[in-house]
Amino acid sequence: MDNQLNELNVKDRQSFIKFLDLLRLDLLEKPESWENKTLPDFLEALAAYTEDI
Protein backbone atom coordinates (compact mmCIF):
# COMPACT_ATOMS: atom_id res chain seq x y z
CA MET A 1 0.00 0.00 0.00
CA ASP A 2 2.90 2.38 0.63
CA ASN A 3 3.76 2.19 -3.06
CA GLN A 4 0.18 3.06 -4.01
CA LEU A 5 0.26 6.11 -1.75
CA ASN A 6 3.65 7.22 -3.00
CA GLU A 7 2.84 6.70 -6.66
CA LEU A 8 -0.66 8.17 -6.66
CA ASN A 9 -0.85 11.40 -8.63
CA VAL A 10 -3.62 13.49 -7.06
CA LYS A 11 -4.96 15.61 -9.88
CA ASP A 12 -8.74 15.62 -9.54
CA ARG A 13 -11.60 14.80 -7.17
CA GLN A 14 -11.57 11.07 -7.88
CA SER A 15 -7.84 10.70 -7.27
CA PHE A 16 -8.14 12.76 -4.07
CA ILE A 17 -10.89 10.41 -2.86
CA LYS A 18 -8.62 7.45 -3.65
CA PHE A 19 -5.78 9.14 -1.73
CA LEU A 20 -7.96 9.64 1.35
CA ASP A 21 -9.16 6.04 1.21
CA LEU A 22 -5.58 4.77 0.99
CA LEU A 23 -4.60 6.92 3.98
CA ARG A 24 -7.50 5.51 5.99
CA LEU A 25 -6.60 1.94 5.09
CA ASP A 26 -2.96 2.56 5.96
CA LEU A 27 -3.97 3.84 9.41
CA LEU A 28 -6.20 0.82 9.99
CA GLU A 29 -3.56 -1.67 8.85
CA LYS A 30 -0.48 -0.07 10.43
CA PRO A 31 -1.51 2.29 13.25
CA GLU A 32 1.92 1.94 14.86
CA SER A 33 3.48 3.77 11.91
CA TRP A 34 1.29 6.85 12.42
CA GLU A 35 2.44 9.63 14.73
CA ASN A 36 -1.04 11.23 14.90
CA LYS A 37 -3.53 8.42 15.44
CA THR A 38 -6.62 10.48 16.30
CA LEU A 39 -8.47 12.87 14.01
CA PRO A 40 -7.92 15.89 16.30
CA ASP A 41 -4.18 15.15 16.50
CA PHE A 42 -3.96 14.65 12.74
CA LEU A 43 -5.84 17.86 11.96
CA GLU A 44 -3.71 19.83 14.40
CA ALA A 45 -0.54 18.51 12.76
CA LEU A 46 -1.95 19.21 9.29
CA ALA A 47 -2.75 22.80 10.27
CA ALA A 48 0.76 23.29 11.68
CA TYR A 49 2.32 21.82 8.53
CA THR A 50 0.16 24.07 6.36
CA GLU A 51 1.35 27.14 8.24
CA ASP A 52 4.97 26.06 7.83
CA ILE A 53 4.95 25.51 4.08
Closest CA to 19 of 28, 29, 9: 9
Where do the structural domains in the chain lie, given as residue ranges?
A: 2-52
pLDDT (0 to 100) of residue 39? 92
- pLDDT tens column, 8-42: 999 999 999 999 999 999 999 999 999 999 999 99
Predicted TM-score (pTM) of this structure: 0.74
Q: What angle do CA 8, 11, 14 make, to 5 degrees?
A: 80
Rounded alpha-carbon distances, angstroms, from residue 53 to 9, 11, 39, 47: 20, 20, 21, 10
Distance CA 29, CA 52 (A): 29
Instruction: Tell me what pLDDT residue 28 has.
Output: 93
